[in-house]
Amino acid sequence: MLIFIVKRIGFMALTMLLVSAVLFALLETGLTGDVATRVLGPYVSEEQRALWREQHGYDRALHVRYADWLAGFLRADFGESVRFKAPVSEILWPRLWNTVILGAWTLAIMVPLALLLGVLAGMREGSKLDRSVTVVSVITTSIPEIATAIILTVVLALGLGWLPAKSAMNQGFDGWKLVLPVLTLVIYDFGYVARMTRASMAEVMTSHYIRTAVLKGIPRSRVIMRHALRNALIAPFTVIVLQLNWLLSGVVVVEVFFEYDGFGRMLLQAALFGDVYVIQAATLVAVFVAVFSQIISDVGYTFLNPRIRFA
């Protein structure tokens, strides 16, 4: 297991190195347009652009610039943000932490609820509970996040006045401001995990070893907890781990709608403004989370599926 983890960490480092090289080539070698023009705007003179290139070392060789940029990234020195007029690190980490808070609350509510209802529905395939969970899951998953956010805002914020309509976190942490964005994400993501859990549990309950255990007289609760549940959680576990990537950079719609100062909204603002240094730092952070989540997924398989062994 230790050797496997070391190999996966090495693969993660190699992946990030390759992504950083491609990202650097796309954003800083003119393949997507002149860097000075994207940073300074299209209305500056050629002399101003030339002066900016000289000040930021764009007259040096490409490999030297890449090595300096990579060394700065390893020191958490991501450069200066043109959009936010501040060092990228001062913008990146607070926004990333806000998204972590949003994602943590979403997973803390969604995962137990989806697993519980999915398991109960799978245990009683064809029952009223099973049909109800299936219908609710299909409806919530098919409604886009923006539509759910609008409905919740109109009903709970503008109609009943129970919750604030916006969730800007620029004045410190406020739990009430998290309710609407968290509820939107829970409703949207709940159905997918619940349906996956229900399908996996229903398949396990009809397997031969479960029938054999029941015929041997083993109590049903013990059969479910010690045999069925462990195998049924293999597929949902993968789905849940993949939500880490989605919660980091895929919640742009929710963060923009509620004006939540998170990672996704920051990345969108940087992309629209052409803020090269913020885009570079945010992209590598997102790649790190994506690759690291795969390591978590692979390690988790060894505990859920005893047939998998790593040398």
What mean pLDDT comes out for the span 83-105?
Answer: 86
In a domain, 24, yes or no: no
184-235: pLDDT as tens digits: 999 988 888 888 888 888 888 777 777 787 777 777 777 777 777 777 777 7
Measured at the CA of 106, the angle between CA 289 and CA 87, to 5 degrees, comes to: 45
In a domain, 31, yes or no: no
The residue with greater pLDDT, 143 or 80, is: 143
176 close to 156: Cβ distance less than 8 angstroms? no
Tell me which residue range forms the domain holding 244: 92-263
Whether the per-residue pLDDT at 309 is higher than 60: the answer is no
In a domain, 178, yes or no: yes
In a domain, 155, yes or no: yes
d(CA 24, CA 20): 6
3-class secondary-structure state, position 87:
strand
Cβ contacts of 163 within 8 Å, gap of 6 or more: 156, 157, 176, 179, 180
In this predicted structure, what is the pLDDT of residue 59?
67
In a domain, 282, yes or no: no
3-class secondary-structure state, position 182:
helix
Whether the per-residue pLDDT at 30 is higher than 80: the answer is no
d(CA 229, CA 115): 10
Measured at the CA of 244, the angle between CA 238 and CA 245, to 5 degrees, comes to: 100
DSSP string, 218-272: --HHHHIIIIIHHHHTHHHHHHHHHHHHHHHHS-HHHHHHTT---HHHHHHHHHH
In this predicted structure, what is the pLDDT of residue 162?
80
In a domain, 107, yes or no: yes
pTM of the model: 0.79
In this predicted structure, what is the pLDDT of residue 1?
66
Whether the per-residue pLDDT at 39 is higher than 50: the answer is yes
**pLDDT band with cut points at 50, 70 and 90 for residue 174:** low
CA dihedral angle for residue 133, residue 138, residue 144, residue 145, rounded to 10 degrees: 20
Question: Average pLDDT of the chain?
Answer: 80
d(CA 141, CA 250): 15
Could you give the number of structural domains in the chain? 1
In a domain, 150, yes or no: yes
Whether the per-residue pLDDT at 311 is higher than 50: the answer is no
121-152: pLDDT as tens digits: 888 777 888 888 889 888 888 888 889 889 98
Q: What CATH number did the domain enclosing 110 receive?
A: 1.10.3720.10
d(CA 86, CA 198): 48
In a domain, 201, yes or no: yes
Whether the per-residue pLDDT at 32 is higher than 60: the answer is no
